[in-house]
Structure 1
Amino acid sequence: MNRRRDDEIRLLPDEFQRLRDLFNKHCGLQFGPEARTSMERRLRERVVELGLSSFAQYYEYLRFHSRGRAELDEALELITVNETYFFREDYQLRALMTELVPMIVKAGGARGRLSIWSAGCSTGEEVYSIAIAARESGAAERREVRIFGSDISRRCVIAARRGVYGASSFRATPPELKRRYFVERPDGFHVADELRTLCQFGHLNLLDSSRAAVVGRVDVIFCRNVLIYLDEESRRRVIDIFYERLSSGGFLLLGHSESLLNVTTAFELVHLREDLVYRKPAATLRLGIPEISPDRGGPERGGGEEGG
């Protein structure tokens, strides 16, 4: 059989529809018509590598081949956005240590241990930023701190565990913190061991509720710049999983362009000095902080931004 030239392999509209529906069913990602060109460019190499001659054959491979599930993971590695850096949206880190942790402790939570989940942690910068904030605030001295980072990308999880970063990851990092918590070596800046001891990473599809149980109960969830890539039904499923994983009185922090507006949830909206966050209510909480109720909704935060 004569194979078509690589540059002749095009992602036709009906093929794009089938592929994006498959990706959506697997992990909730949604792709608009404008994504067809980039998906074609990013996945064409996989089609060629597998010796296939069309995206229609690639779809069949993903659906029915014995290695289809592994290839699905490979495809998601190529089409997902994983841009991040240390201390992104750092006002939330300030809020975490100066407002949220004291609230949790006052309400009787985090007895001896503070547990935090970074859901969609990309290559790990967010997790290590949280660890630095815990160290700098003294929270890691007063109690055990556990930070778990998860991502749907296996490559991102491997990179996060390795903990070696280039200059672009430090665009918002204060120089003194870079010197204190990273060791410069020929291959990049290595995360110091005192941070590594606080952090764990794992591969996780946020729609997989049974796998999410391995996270255990947590006091705080960071899920920033993830929900904007999911369809409405998937967002609802993920929010339900977050609610289940949070301890009573625990907090959910979203990206600045995200909110739970139009998503019916049991979360309470809490106003902080620099942010709006969501809390899983507990009947015994009487913290005297303003909330918006009864609809649990909140204003959209301005602007849009891609992120991991």
Structure 2
Amino acid sequence: MFDKEPWQSELVPLSEDVFRLIRDLIREYCGMFFDDASRFLLERRLSRRVRTNHLEDFRDYYRLLLYDRKREEELEAIIDVLTVNETYFFREQNQLRAFSEEILPVLKNTCRNKKIRIWSAGCSTGEEPYTIAMLILEYGNFAGWDIEILGSDINQRVLTSARRGVYRKNSFRTTDNYFIEKYFTEENALFTISDKVKQAVSFCYLNLLDPFKVKFISRMDIVFCRNVLIYFDCEARKKVINDFHDRLLDGGYLLLGHAESLASISTSFDLVHL
């Protein structure tokens, strides 16, 4: 008989009924939905959280998530272990080209108050909002303009990383050397973003399903929400998209991931081919 792998010996059994309780609680908290086929995934990824909290089983863990004073902290930890924070600079370059060559010129001609507000929702470790800042610095010619770029995420760990602005080489898989040399300083295989770019972006913790906090977001000219909706069920997607619509100024733009669509979710937006 073969010995178990280390990760197998640490697993805490997750019964079907408790899986559904925890699954529904996560869904209510942040909109992420896991179907029945995901039970082993949750068992594998959350067993360490059960052990870390010195609990016997997942039923005790569920009670912690319901009643414990640190439930909010634990729910944030769950988000951290369940989400894949796959991102890099200049991701989806065709869309970024449309942003810099089509959308920015339109805003420059129509924003009479010389203010532009951009929101990167689900910004992860910051590559997206910093990319936006570099494009504006490079192509916008917005000297004297009041430009705000906000990055938000539900994961405190990735926000801490975003604020540091230090990256490894895998964050630059599609980045032209020109941008790396101009906007980053390399030391010991780590790349630190320049203060000029960092100062253009602010970050905040935000659960997109928290209607009270979302309403405190300023009205925006552009919302980037790319490869975030894939984690949500249909109901959560509708709610988030409706909130984006409420937060956008008239004529504002919503940019989704290349594989995402508003079909069956919202009719409040007009599709623009750029």
Q: TM-score range by the shorter chain?
A: over 0.9
Cross-structure match for 2:5: none
Query: SS where residue 266 of structure 2 aligns?
Result: coil
Q: Per-residue displacement from partner, 1:145-167 (whole Å, max 9, x unpaired)? A: 21100001011111101110011
Cross-structure match for 1:180: 182
Structure 1 residue 143: Cα displacement: 2.1
Cross-structure match for 2:53: 50
Distance 1:128 1:8 in 2: 39
Extract unaligned runs of 5+ from structure 1: 273-308
What's the TM-score once normalised by structure 2's chain length? 0.93
Which structure dedicates a bigger proportion of its chain to helix?
Answer: 2
Let me know the Cα RMSD of the aligned residues: 1.6
Cross-structure match for 1:298: none
Cross-structure match for 1:286: none
Cross-structure match for 2:94: 91
Cross-structure match for 2:170: 168
Structure 1 residue 110: Cα displacement: 6.3
Is structure 2 residue 221 aligned with structure 1 residue 246? no
Identity of aligned residues (%): 43
Structure 1 residue 142: Cα displacement: 5.6
After superposition, residues 1-308 of structure 1 pair within 5 angstroms as 7=10, 9-106=12-109, 108-109=110-111, 111-141=113-143, 143-186=145-188, 188-272=190-274
Instruction: Give yes or no for contact 1:182–1:189 (8 Å, CA) kept in 2.
Output: yes
Q: Per-residue displacement from partner, 1:194-248 (whole Å, max 9, x unpaired)? A: 1011100010001112212332011000000011111111111101110111111
Instruction: Give yes or no for contact 1:23–1:29 (8 Å, CA) kept in 2.
Output: yes
Distance 2:177 2:11 in 1: 49
Query: SS where residue 114 of structure 1 aligns?
Result: strand
* Residues 14/168 of structure 1: CA separation in 2 closer, same or farther (3 Å cut): same
Q: Per-residue displacement from partner, 1:65-107 (whole Å, max 9, x unpaired)? A: 111121111111111111111111011111112111222333x
Extract unaligned runs of 5+ from structure 2: 1-7
Cross-structure match for 1:285: none
Instruction: Give yes or no for contact 1:109–1:249 (8 Å, CA) kept in 2.
Output: no
Distance 1:101 1:249 in 2: 13
Query: SS where residue 129 of structure 1 aligns?
Result: helix
Cross-structure match for 2:4: none
Distance 1:41 1:178 in 2: 38
What's the TM-score once normalised by structure 1's chain length? 0.83
Distance 2:23 2:112 in 1: 41
Distance 1:161 1:200 in 2: 8
* Residues 8/31 of structure 1: CA separation in 2 closer, same or farther (3 Å cut): closer
